Structure 1
Amino acid sequence: MRNFTILAALVALALVTRALLHRAPAEPAAPKLRFVSLAWQEQALQVNQALVAEWNAAHPELPVEYVQGTWGAIHDYLITAFETGEVPDVFHYESSIIVDFAMRGFLSDLAPLLSPETKADILEVAWASVTRPNGEITGVPFLIESLVVLYNHDLFAAAGLTPPPAAQPWTWQELRRAAQRLTRDTDGDGVPEQWGAAFGLRNSANVVMNLAIGFGGSFFHREQGRYRVTVGAAEQELLRTLYAMLYDDRSAAPASIGQTGTGMIPGFFSGKYAMLIGIGAWARQQLVENAPPNFHWGVLPPPLAHSQRSGISTQTLSIPKKSRRPVEAMRFIEFMLAANNMAKLAQSDWMIPARKSCLQLPQFQDAAVGWDIVTGAVPSLTTGPWLGAPGYVEWKNRVANPILQEFFANRLTLAEAAQRLERESNLVLSRYQMRGEAW
C-alpha cells in the first residue's frame, strides 16, 4: 500500500511537471508609455494622477507610467534624454522653450496626428504659440499663462477706490494714481507701512516682455529672417512707468526688486501691499487656499496702455521624435486634453484652458475668484514676437534678467539699460543664428 501511494505521488508529480513544461508562456506585460508631468500645485497633482489612473483602467493594453518632473530640473533632463534616446513618450513643458527643441529636431510634428475636433476647438492664439511657419505643430497647448493685477478689496474701500469694470479698465496712469492713494506712511518716518503696489521683478524678463506688448513694444524684431533686439520708445515707456512707480511716485514696494511674484504674496496677505501687478493668474489658488480669514481680494481688468494686449506662454504636451510609439502617445494626449479633462486640468492649475468650449463652462465665469476677468481677457492675449528667436532661453536668463535687475535696482539709467540690452542681446542672437537653426 505504501509503495502504491509513493508510485501514485510520483505519477502525479510527473503529470504536473509535464503540464508546467508544456504550458503556454505567460503573456508579457504591456509596455508602458512614459508621461512626464510638471504639475506641482496639490490640486493639479491629484487631477493629473487621477486622469492617468482613469486611462490605465480603460486601456490595459496601453498603460501609462506617470513620472513626476519638476520645473527646475526638466530642461536638463530632456536635453539628456534627447541625446541618449531614452525619451519619455509624452512630456509637459511650455511653448517658449519647446521652440528651441523643435529647431534642434528633437520633437515630432503633431499636425498629422491630431484629431480635427482638437484642432478646431483649441484657441488660435494657443496654436500660434506652438506652430512653426511651415505648419509643423510642436506640442498641444492646454493651459494659457496670463498676467493679472490682484487687489485688496478692503484697502481699496478704505482709500475710497472703486475697482473699474471690465468695460472701462484703468489706464496705466490711473493705476499709478491709485497706487499713490493706497500708499500710506502711518507713523510719519518717511517709510510707508502700506505700499500701493508690488511687482515680482527678480526675474522680470517674462513680465516686462509680456506687458510691453500693450505699450506697442516688442523688443524683438525680425528682418530678412534674422532677429534683432531693439529697445525703442514703446519699450522704454513701460520701463519708465515701472521705474517711476518705484522711485518717483514711491508707490511700489522696493522689495519688488528682489522678489518673485510668489514671494510677494505674504505681504499681500498682511496688508503691506494693496496690489500685486503682473503676477500669474495661477496665483489665485494661493489666495484661495492660504489667505487669512476675512481677507477679501479681487482681480482688476488688464490695465490699458496703447491697448490691453498682453503676451502669453502656453503649457503643452509634446512627443519626442525618438518616441517609438507616437501614434499611441497621441491617443493618450487626446484623452488627457479632451474638453472635460482639460477643464479639470485648467481649474486645478488656475490657468486659462486652451479650448474654446471650456471657456463657456460656469466654473470659468466665477466672479468670486476672478475667473470672469481672467477668461474675459482672452481676446486681448497674443503671442510675443520673440517666438522662434534662436537662443531665447539663454537670452532671457543671461542677458535680459540680469540687466533688468540692475535697472530696477537703480544701478543703470534707462539709456544705459537700453544700450546694454541691445548690444548684449544681439551678440547672443548672432551666435545662435550662425548655426542656421530656423523656426
Structure 2
Amino acid sequence: MNRRPAFLAFTSVAAVLLTAGCVSGSGGSGDSQSSAKPGEKIKLSFASYAFQDPTVKATQEIVDSWNAAHPDVQVDYQKVDPNSVHDKLVTQFAGNSAPDIIHDEAADLAGFSRQGYLADLGPLLPADLKADVPESVWKSVTIDGKVAGVPTIAQVYNLFADTDALKAAGINPPTADAPWTWDDLEANAKKLTKGGGVYGFAAGLKSPTAAVMSSSLSFDGTFFSGDEAKPDINITDKEMEVPNRLKAMLDAKTMAPNSTSLSASDVLPGFFGKKYALVLAGNYVEAQIEEKAPKGFNWTMLPLLKGTNQNQASGPQTLSVARQSKHQKEAMEFIAYYDKAENLAKIAQGDALIPVTTSAAAIVKQNLAGKHGWDVVLDAGPKLVDAPWAKADKFPQWKSEVATPAYQEFLAGKIDAATLKQRLTDGWKKASS
C-alpha cells in the first residue's frame, strides 16, 4: 500500500459534499474564533491518519506533552484510516461532526475550502511559523486567498541506489552539485542491465499519475494554466518528456517490465534481491528500506533528477481547522505547537519525509547527517513548487478516471503518445465542462 493516502479519487459519497452546500456554523473568517468562557475547560478533537509506528508514537507524544502543559485545553487524538480520510471528511462535514483539527494533504483542501468547510487560518498564523515555511509551500495550501491548512511534511520522488551495484559497474553516484539528468539515468540504467531478469532500473508505476506529473515539472511541464479552479489544459512536448522517457526505457528493456504493475513498495523485494540497482519512488519508501533491507545491503538516496531544473510538486501533508469548530484560536495554537521544530522533526523522521519548516529540517539534517543520502533529499525543500493542477476542482476526478488509466495504457504499449495526449486533453475538457 502506498503510504500516501488515496484521497484524490472522488467517489459517489462526494455528492454529499456538493449537495450539502456551504456550512453556516460557527467559525471561519469574521466568525467567533473561540467560544470559551473564563475558566472553561476546552476539549479539541484531532483526527490524524498517521499509521507508521514511529509516527503514531511521535504524534501521541506531541499530544501528551501539549495536554500536560495545557490542562484547560485538552486534545483528543483520534486515529483515522489513511485510505478513508477524504470520504470520512465528506460525511463528517455534511453532518456537522468534523473534528476540530484535521490531518489531510494539500491536494485535498481545495474542494473542502471552496465549500466553506475549512477555517481561514491566515489571521491566526503566528509570525514565526509563517516565516519558517517557504512561500512556495504556503502557496500550495492557499485557496482563493485563504490559508486552508498549515503544511507539515512533504515527499519528493527520487532515486534509490544499490551502491555496491553502482560501484561494480564503475558508476559514480551523483552529488547535490552535479545531479543526474534523465539522460544520465537512461545511460546508467543501460550499464546496469545484465540480462537474465536483471534490469538497471525499476519504478512503481501501478498508479503513475502523481509521479509522472510531479517529475514533469523538472521539464517545465505544467499541464494546466489560467483560473486555479477551472484551468485550461495544454499537453505539449514538455508534459510528454517524462512518460516518453519511461516508455523508452521500458522498450529498451533497461527498465523492469513489471514496473507498470507494481506499487512503490512492491518494487522493494526486487531491489533487495539485486534484480534492479536503481528504483524511482517517493522518498517515504526510505522507512521501509530501513526496516526491511537485508543485512549487508548497501544503499542510498540520490539527488532529484534534473530536466531543465529539479522542481517537483509541493503537496505537503497539512493540519486544518474545521470552520464549524468553536475553538479555532486554540486549535491553531495546538497546530503551531505540533509544527515546533523538535516536534515536526520527530514526525518527519518517523515518516521518512521532508519537514517543510527550515527549523525542523535543520534538526533532521543534523540527526541524519551522512546517512543514506538524507542530506541531499532534505535540501530538496526549496525545489518544491506550487503545482498548477493542485487547486483545480475537477483534478481528482480527472486523475482517477482519465489520467491514471491513460498513462497505464501508454506505458504498457496499448496506446501511442498522440493518443495519450488526446485522451488527457479530451478527458479534462469533459470533466471540467
Shorter-chain TM-score above 0.5 = yes
Out of 197, 204, 219, which is 1:200 matched to? 204
Counterpart of 1:403? 406
Residue in 1 that maps onto 2:5: none
Using the TM superposition, name which of 60-69 and 124-133 deviates more.
124-133
Counterpart selection for 2:80 from 48, 63, 69: 69
**1:146/1:313 contact within 8 Å kept:** no
**Residue in structure 2 matched with residue 8 of structure 1 by the alignment:** none
Corresponding position: 1:170 with 2:145:
no
Paired amino acid for 2:373: G
Q: Distance in 1 between matches of 2:424 and 2:400?
A: 12
Partner residue, 2:313: 311
1:132 corresponds to which letter in structure 2?
I
TM-score (structure 1 length as normaliser): 0.87
1:284-316 per-position Cα deviation (integer Å, ceiling 9, x unaligned)? 111111110001001111222121222221000
Partner of 2:43: 32
From 265, 272, 276, the counterpart of 1:269 = 272
TM-score, normalising length: structure 2? 0.88
**Shift in Å, 1:404:** 0.8
Q: Distance in 1 between matches of 2:144 and 2:98?
A: 26
Alignment-mate amino acid for residue 216 of structure 2: A
1:269, 1:295 within 8 Å by CA — same for their partners in 2? yes
Structure 1 position 60, deviation (Å): 2.1
CA distance in 2, matches of 1:311, 1:225: 17
For 1:40 and 1:226, the matched residues in 2 are separated by 34
- TM-fit CA distance, 1:379: 2.7
Residue in 2 aligned with 1:127?
138
Equivalent pair of 1:33/1:62 in contact (CA under 8 Å): yes
Please tell me the residue identity of whatever aligns with 1:149.
L
Q: Does 1:354 align with 2:356?
A: yes
SS in 2 for 1:369: coil
The residue type paired with residue 71 of structure 2 is: P
Query: 2:295 aligns to what SS in structure 1?
Result: coil
Corresponding residue to 2:191 among 172, 181, 195: 181
Q: CA deviation at 1:34?
A: 0.7
Question: AA paired with 1:209?
Answer: M
Q: Structure 1 residues 350 and 376 mapped into 2: Cα distance closer, same or farther (>3 Å)?
A: same
2:304/2:380 contact within 8 Å kept: yes
Query: Any idea what SS the aligned residue of 2:161 has?
Result: strand
Question: 1:90-124 CA distances to partner (integer Å, 9 max, x unpaired)?
Answer: 01010011122111111000011111111111122
Specify every segment of 5 or more residues in structure 1 that has no aligned partner in the other structure, as ranges.
1-27, 186-191, 431-439
- The structure that has the greater radius of gyration is 1
Q: Is the 8 A contact 1:365 1:375 kept in 2?
A: no
The aligned counterpart of 1:220 is: 224
Answering whether residue 291 of structure 2 is matched by residue 289 of structure 1, we say yes
Q: Which amino acid aligns with 1:67?
A: Q
Distance in 1 of aligned mates of 2:335 and 2:228: 36
Alignment match of 1:109 (pick from 96, 120, 123): 120
The 2-side partners of 1:314 and 1:206 are apart by 13
Q: CA deviation at 1:80?
A: 0.5
What is the CA distance between 1:160 and its match in structure 2? Answer: 1.4
Counterpart CA distance in 2 for 1:285 and 1:375 is: 15
2:94 maps to 1:94? no
Task: Determine the C-alpha separation between the residues in 2 that align with 1:224 and 1:327.
Answer: 29
Q: Which secondary structure does the structure 2 equivalent of 1:32 belong to?
A: strand
Counterpart CA distance in 2 for 1:237 and 1:205 is 14
8 Å contact from structure 2 (residues 228, 391) kept in 1: no
Q: Which amino acid aligns with 1:334?
A: A
Counterpart in 1 of 2:249? 245
Secondary structure in structure 2 of the residue aligned to 1:274: strand
Stretches of structure 2 that go unaligned for 5 or more consecutive residues are 1-38
**Offset at 1:381?**
2.0
Worse overlay, 363-372 or 99-108: 363-372
C-alpha separation in 2, matches of 1:363 and 1:398: 43
The answer to which structure has the higher helix fraction is 1
Identify the residue that residue 381 of structure 1 maps to in structure 2.
384
* Number of equivalent positions: 394
Q: Secondary structure at the match of 1:284?
A: helix
Matches within 5 A, 1:317-356: 317-356=319-358
Q: Which residue of 2 is the match for residue 434 of structure 1?
A: none
- Whether 1:159 and 2:163 are equivalent positions in the alignment is no
Fraction of identical pairs, as percent: 36
